[in-house]
Amino acid sequence: MSNEFYYSNKYEDDEYEYRHVHVTKEVAKQVPHNRLMSESEWRSLGIQQSPGWVHYLIWPAERHILLFRRPKPKVRVG
């Protein structure tokens, strides 16, 4: 199933690393409309990513695009 998904390249700001995942229209029907998904929920849809990614935003116009982010590692100085 996951080979039908498109995983974007990662992009970032000062705090987070981001990526989006395009799922099939059929999978999009299983995505909740009124809340964000837990990691176990999006993994059960067949999405495969390394640990730490959080489903952080619902974009109503394009429900087949799931938006994820994770905190950037803190760089220790000194």
Q: pLDDT for 17-56, tens place per residue?
A: 999 999 999 999 999 999 999 999 999 999 999 999 999 9
Do the domain assignments include residue 77?
no
Domain span at residue 30 reads 2-71
Decide if 27 contacts 63 (C-beta within 8 A): no
**Cα separation of 42 and 48, whole Å?**
9
- pTM score of the predicted model: 0.88
Tell me whether residue 20 is in a domain.
Answer: yes
Structural domain includes residue 78: no
Output the pLDDT for position 8.
98
**Residue 3: pLDDT band by 50, 70, 90 thresholds?**
low
Total domains in the fold of the chain: 1
SS3 74: coil
